[in-house]
Amino acid sequence: MTSTPAVSGGCPMGYGAQAPADHHGYEPFAMEDPFPAYARMRSEQPVMFDERTGLYVVTRYDDVKEVFEKWETFSSENAQAPVRKRGPQATQIMTEGGFTTYSGLSARRPPEHTRIRAIAQKAFTPRRFKALEPLIRENVKASIKAMLDRGDDHGDIVADLAYSLPTVTILTLIGEDTSSVDTYKRWSDSRAAMTWGDLSDEEQIPHAHNLVEYWNRCQEIVARAHAEGGDDLTADLVKAQSEGGEISDHEIASLLYSLLFAGHETTTTLISNCVRVLLDHREAWEALCAEPKQIPKAIDEVLRYSGSIVGWRRKALEDTEVAGVAIPEGGELLLLMGSANRDESRFENGEDFDISRSNARDHLSFGFGIHYCLGNMLAKLQAKIALEELTSALPDLQLLDGEHISFRKNLSFRVPEQINVSLNAH
Amino acid sequence: MAKVHFTDFEGATQVIEATTGDSVMETAVRNGVEGIVGECGGSLSCATCHVFVAAQDFEALEPMEEMEDEMLYGTAVDREENSRLSCQIKLCAEQEIHVTTPETQV
């Protein structure tokens, strides 16, 4: 269904961004191996208008970072808009279901964004994460044990570890029932597909039902925190409100709608990618087994080399330009962080995975500036604990069939679907 | 001209002239001072611009806000009495400040 007309963006003609017929090999929703096309766009046309999606595609490091930084010109308001227009059936389901949210934070703009982020940030702090560290470690150990206990010496890192670990963590933080992992994963898959996927009107229908359920649950969690209190993030937000904090129930529920998605979806991918990429570069895996102190640095290199989100949108609020290419007012941009992270002008031998790289942390996988990923520290903490336990318990872990890993079709999220491993446990 | 004296964990010092109104983090990043990362760009979300401020300069700074205090619990090298996040230290004209960077920000 890639023939749907462009949803937005002005006529590219006369702006110097018109794409050649082959789009330098770029396919907006193909995630198997987008990197050769990224490299070609960086060198051949660093700002390209993709008429199939109506997006100006930005691929160089300095340009991506500059757009993130200039939030007054480049608004985040389109960050959560469906890439493919919502069809009539889905629209009806969502209207009738009382679906009234749009974004918790990422698509909000100052001053509203500044106000809500300040409140959210206070409830989402390193001290709170650190208190969860023992629980996270126990959960990793339990997942490893369950894999071993199956006795077939095989595992799928996605299903057996990465799927539930961060989901249990965020559910715990928010004060939601940790047995509802499957429900939240179903809702989150629907959210990713409805917003960044390439669905036909028909295909949208089940996802629309899921989003209605998901949003209703977020509102119920807020109501419950009002009634019962508690020692969790939702209760903190409700308390902040009762003490005069300027945040409405709808805004708190919207924040939950964000956190209960962003809080695990991309961390599941990060943990999966850590194992996938490290096992695919055996010397790096062995270096971590020998010296676990290097794990945090290696995680930054995985984030650079293979981030969970490879592209993110912005909208120009005025006539402007990026790298000398005119962008009209209302023009929508796709910042390809997955490409920026391999830009040779910033990262020497950018296409190589190298855990000893000194500037891996300059990657843009968490964005940059006012919308910088709120959960970055929690994501990295969980990946670190997972790798510490895996390298110590299963140093002989081996990737099986690594060249045939499939990735979900999506504009922004690059999600490996399974990572089969041989445990080689002794 | 404001000036920042950056001393790394091994004792080597470099003095950087700074633009008034810039933060200590921005001054470091713009001048390639190693030991400060500033990954999030100053949005108080990453705690990778942690510095130890010299005693005589520490007292002169505006007191830190609650969120900076919270984020200092997330630094790679444990916080001390004179710890600050350098993205929150904005430089006044002619201000001179001495900071030491931790062994790692990761």
Answer whether residue A264 is part of any domain.
Answer: yes
Least Cα distance to A375 among A164, A204, A170, A214 occurs for A170
Answer whether residue A129 is part of any domain.
Answer: yes
Minimal C-alpha gap between B69 and chain A (Å)? 10
Q: Which residue in chain B is spatially nearest to A368 when comparing CA positions?
A: B40
Mean pLDDT score across all residues of chain A: 95
Decide if A371 contacts A319 (C-beta within 8 A): no
Neighbouring C-beta atoms of residue A43, cutoff 10 Å: 12
Decide if A389 contacts A121 (C-beta within 8 A): no
- CB-closest option in B41, B70, B76 to A122: B70
Count of structural domains within chain A: 1
Tens-digit pLDDT profile for residues B45-69 = 999 999 999 999 999 999 999 999 9
Minimal C-alpha gap between A212 and chain B (Å)? 31
Cα–Cα distance for residue pair A132/A28, rounded to 1 Å? 38
Answer whether residue A151 is part of any domain.
Answer: yes
Answer whether residue A15 is part of any domain.
Answer: no
CATH number of the domain within which A149 lies: 1.10.630.10
Does position A5 have pLDDT exceeding 70, yes or no?
no
Tens-digit pLDDT profile for residues A220-235 = 999 999 999 999 999 9
Answer whether residue A244 is part of any domain.
Answer: yes
* Mean per-residue pLDDT, A98-109: 96
- CB-closest option in B73, B105, B106 to A126: B73
Answer whether residue A69 is part of any domain.
Answer: yes
Minimal C-alpha gap between B104 and chain A (Å)? 11
ipTM of the complex: 0.90
**Helices of type H across B4-80:** 24-30, 55-58, 66-71
Asked if B37 lies within 8 A of A370 by C-beta distance, the reply is no
Bridge partner residues of A326 (DSSP): A321
Does position A205 have pLDDT exceeding 80, yes or no?
yes
Decide if A155 contacts A146 (C-beta within 8 A): no
Residue A426: its pLDDT value, please?
Answer: 66
Tens-digit pLDDT profile for residues A265-308 = 999 999 999 999 999 999 999 999 999 999 999 999 999 999 99
Answer whether residue A12 is part of any domain.
Answer: no
Does position B3 have pLDDT exceeding 70, yes or no?
yes
Residue A47, classified by CB atoms within 10 Å of its CB into exposed (0-12), middle (13-18) or buried (19+), is: buried
Residue A425: its pLDDT value, please?
Answer: 82
Q: For residue A52, what are the domain limits?
A: 23-422
Cα–Cα distance for residue pair A365/B3, rounded to 1 Å? 33
**Helix, strand, coil % over all residues of chain A, rounded to 5:** 55, 10, 40
Asked if B41 lies within 8 A of A368 by C-beta distance, the reply is yes
Residue B8 half-sphere exposure toward CB, CA atoms < 13 A: 12
Answer whether residue A9 is part of any domain.
Answer: no
Does position A8 have pLDDT exceeding 80, yes or no?
no
- Residue A162 DSSP label: I
Name all domains of chain B by residue range, CATH numbers in brackets.
Answer: 2-100 (3.10.20.30)
Cβ–Cβ contact B77 with A under 8 A: no
SS3 assignment for A53-96: CCEEEECCHHHHHHHHHCCCCEECCCCCCCCCCCCHHHHHHHHH
